């Protein structure tokens, strides 16, 4: 395996991360609009990209192991001493680009997580409003609550 193959894998990594960033941005918009059908489609699409990243990681690890001859050391940095000056520049640039995409993807995903948490808080508030917690109930001798209002929620199933 050669440095050129590693460069190819890193470029595929970058492309896949760009696609994930695009999906994450679309997910942000879907969350803002409350478009859960689109959100479901985006999550399925992201699963494909994540599977691709897993395959690329295995390929990258195999290439690095073959370049370095060391099974445990599987970083791009470990390959630099086996590359010529031009290949080192390319590897540094690709590594830099990949780290930038990862950081941006992380930022977008944190925003999406906040949006999801806010949506869940809203749902909880709405559920609490529709089904208020009961007040302390005092019982009569026949084990009936003291008032009908305390036994009734917003939804009366007998109606």
pLDDT tens-digit readout, 44-61: 999 999 999 999 999 998
Check: CB of residue 141 under 8 Å from CB of residue 149.
no
Distance CA 127, CA 10 (A): 47
Strand partners, 145: 139
pLDDT at 139 over 60: no
Query: What kind of architecture, by CATH, is found in domain 3-131?
Result: Up-down Bundle (1.20)
Check: CB of residue 69 under 8 Å from CB of residue 82.
no
Q: Is the pTM of this model over 0.85?
A: no
Token duo for residue 5? 């193959």
Distance CA 46, CA 57 (A): 16
Q: What is the rounded average pLDDT of the residues 8-36?
A: 94
Using 50, 70 and 90 to split pLDDT, how confident is the model at 148?
very low
Token duo for residue 130? 């529709």
């Amino acid at each position: 395996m050669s440095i050129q193959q590693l460069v190819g894998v890193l470029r595929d990594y970058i492309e896949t991360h760009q696609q994930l960033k695009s999906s994450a941005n679309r997910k942000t918009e879907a969350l803002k609009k409350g478009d859960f059908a689109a959100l479901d489609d985006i999550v399925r699409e992201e699963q494909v990209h994540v599977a691709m990243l897993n395959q690329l990681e295995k390929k990258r690890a195999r290439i690095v192991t073959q370049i370095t001859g060391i099974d445990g050391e599987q970083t791009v940095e470990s390959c630099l001493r086996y590359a010529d000056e031009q290949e080192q520049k390319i590897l540094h640039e690709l590594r830099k680009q990949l780290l930038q995409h990862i950081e941006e993807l992380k930022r977008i995903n944190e925003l999406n997580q906040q949006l999801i948490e806010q949506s869940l808080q809203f749902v909880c508030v709405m559920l609490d409003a529709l089904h208020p917690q009961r007040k302390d109930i005092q019982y009569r001798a026949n084990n009936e609550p003291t008032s009908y209002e305390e036994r009734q929620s917003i939804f009366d199933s007998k109606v």
